[in-house]
């Protein structure tokens, strides 16, 4: 029997994960808090544990590994991303790190990407505020004019699993043209969505809507900044459901404020959980009328959350049994 810590309150959607771990004869401890767990409390609870299931908001670094102890075999991150974990430190301490990629998660994020896209194209958020604040006095033909998605060009920055799901929906569901930039060509989306592989600068210059689907690495931090916004079409839209720091927030705010781009749908933020990194520069993202903001909920469906927990649990069971991880972070 091994000791496993689930570093958050599952609130029901992780019941299957707890059952999987207990069925494998492991002792399971569940922390009472659901998020924003203090680092000291997490380390205290994790000491002596053989496996820890962590949240994206948990910082897992060299100090964590030293404090928890040499018996720790796996950190199963409850997220597709793993930028909160120091992989080099994990390797040094011989701890396996896993994440939770899943077709169910891909579907949820792809759907949310389109929710933001449609909300921007049809100016849903602006119209909602206008209506609920009593401004609607009668129909006119020019009220909140937007744009159709059909026939528009979607440019993907990153064409992995989620980018592929977005591409297929764009082409088959909305009749959009798809172009993409990625280190590698993706034969599946070229076949299923008739997508064309181009350098990133050309994707930015040709796309009516740019959607980001790359992981956060040092090389992708501020991948989209002032120069990149200057390449985008005037009147284009930006969607980010990947990671906040991929987009330079100040550059984004300037692009929105000056109408360099028409709008942005943002689910992740550079200084998350803060919506604005700097409240002294008069470039508050949350005040931009042409931005639709959601609080990091692209994968927030019951189906996705349950699947993520199950994948994390199966990774823990496999590693503690001396087998290969199902989805190692790499």
Residues 143, 166, single domain; the answer is: yes
CB-based contact 89:62 (threshold 8 Å): yes
Domain count within the chain: 2
Residues 217 and 69 in one domain: no
CB atoms within 10 A of CB 57: 17
DSSP, residue by residue, 56-113: TTS-B-HHHHHHH-TT--EEEESSS--TTB-HHHHHHTT-EEE----HHHHHHHHHHH
For residues 117 and 266, the answer to whether their CB atoms sit within 8 Å is: no
Question: Do 250 and 307 share a domain, yes or no?
Answer: no
CATH for 60: 3.40.50.720
User: Is 329 among the domain residues?
Assistant: no
Same domain, 138 and 240: yes
Domain assignment present for 246: yes
- C-beta of residue 237 within 8 angstroms of C-beta of residue 121: yes
Q: What is the DSSP letter of 329?
A: -
Q: Tell which residue, 245, 314, 292, has the closest CA to residue 99.
A: 314
Per-residue pLDDT, 35: 67
Residue 114 belongs to a domain: yes
Q: Residue 140, exposed/middle/buried by CB under 10 A (0-12, 13-18, 19+)?
A: exposed
131 and 94 inside one domain: no
**CA 213 to chain centroid:** 8
Same domain, 14 and 39: yes
Domain match, 114 and 77 both: no
Residues in the chain: 330
327 in a structural domain: no
Do residue 156 and residue 272 come from a single domain? yes
Q: Is residue 230 one of the residues assigned to a domain?
A: yes
Taking each helix axis as running N to C, give the angle between helix 15-23 and helix 302-320, from 0 to 180 degrees, rounded to the nearest 10.
20
Quote the pLDDT of residue 130.
95
- pLDDT for res 8: 78
Return averaged pLDDT per consecutive 10 residues of the chain, 330 residues in all.
83 80 93 78 94 92 96 95 93 96 94 97 95 95 95 97 96 98 95 97 98 94 98 97 97 96 97 92 92 95 92 96 94
Q: What pLDDT is attached to residue 56?
A: 87
Is 289 among the domain residues?
Answer: yes
Q: Are residues 83 and 118 both part of a single domain?
A: no
Please choose, from the candidates 171, 180, 190, 186, the residue with its C-alpha nearest in 3D space to the C-alpha of residue 212.
180
82 and 148 fall within a common domain: no
| Rounded Cα gap, residues 295 and 155, in angstroms | 23
Contacts of 191 (CB under 8 A, 6+ apart): none
User: Does 328 reside within a domain?
Assistant: no
What is the set of active-site residues? 243, 272, 296
pLDDT for 30-72, tens place per residue? Answer: 887 666 788 899 999 999 999 999 988 899 999 999 999 999 9
How far is residue 316 from each of residues 20, 61, 77, 297, 325, measured CA to CA in Å?
A: 10, 19, 10, 25, 8
Both 73 and 209 in one domain: the answer is no
Do 170 and 131 have their domain in common? yes
Residue 82 forms part of a structural domain: yes
Range of the domain at 238: 104-293
Q: How far is CA 183 from CA 129, 159, 198, 214, in A?
A: 41, 9, 10, 10
Q: How far apart are the first and last CA of the chain?
A: 28
> What pLDDT, on a 0 to 100 scale, did the predictor assign at position 118?
97
């Amino acid at each position: 029997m091994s000791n496993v810590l689930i570093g958050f309150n599952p609130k029901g959607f992780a019941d299957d994960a707890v059952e999987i771990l207990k069925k494998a004869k492991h002792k399971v401890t569940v922390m009472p808090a659901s998020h924003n767990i203090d680092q000291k409390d997490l380390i205290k609870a994790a000491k002596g544990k053989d496996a820890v299931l962590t949240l994206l908001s948990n910082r897992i670094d060299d100090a964590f590994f030293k404090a928890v102890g040499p018996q720790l075999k796996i950190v199963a991150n409850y997220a597709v991303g793993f930028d909160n974990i120091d992989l080099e430190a994990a390797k040094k301490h011989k701890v396996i790190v896993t994440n939770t990629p899943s077709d169910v998660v891909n579907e949820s994020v792809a759907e949310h990407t389109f929710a933001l896209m449609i909300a921007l194209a049809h100016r849903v958020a602006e119209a909602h505020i206008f209506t609920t604040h009593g401004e609607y006095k009668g129909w006119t033909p020019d009220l909140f004019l937007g744009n159709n998605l059909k026939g528009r060009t979607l440019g993907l920055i990153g064409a992995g699993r989620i980018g592929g799901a977005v591409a297929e929906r764009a082409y088959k569901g909305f009749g959009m043209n798809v172009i993409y930039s990625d280190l590698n060509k993706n034969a599946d989306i070229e076949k299923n969505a008739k997508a064309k592989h181009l350098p990133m600068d050309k994707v930015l210059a040709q796309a009516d809507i740019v959607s980001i689907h790359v992981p956060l690495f040092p090389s992708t931090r501020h991948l989209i900044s002032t120069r990149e916004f200057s390449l985008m079409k005037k009147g284009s839209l930006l969607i980010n459901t990947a990671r906040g720091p991929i987009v330079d927030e100040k550059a984004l705010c300037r692009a929105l404020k000056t109408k360099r781009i028409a709008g942005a749908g943002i689910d992740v933020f550079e200084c998350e959980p803060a919506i604005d990194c700097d409240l002294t520069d008069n470039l508050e993202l949350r005040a931009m009328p042409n931005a639709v903001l959601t609080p990091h909920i692209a994968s927030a469906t019951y189906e996705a959350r349950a699947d993520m927990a199950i994948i994390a649990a199966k990774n823990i069971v496999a590693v503690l049994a001396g087998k290969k991880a199902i989805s190692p972070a790499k």
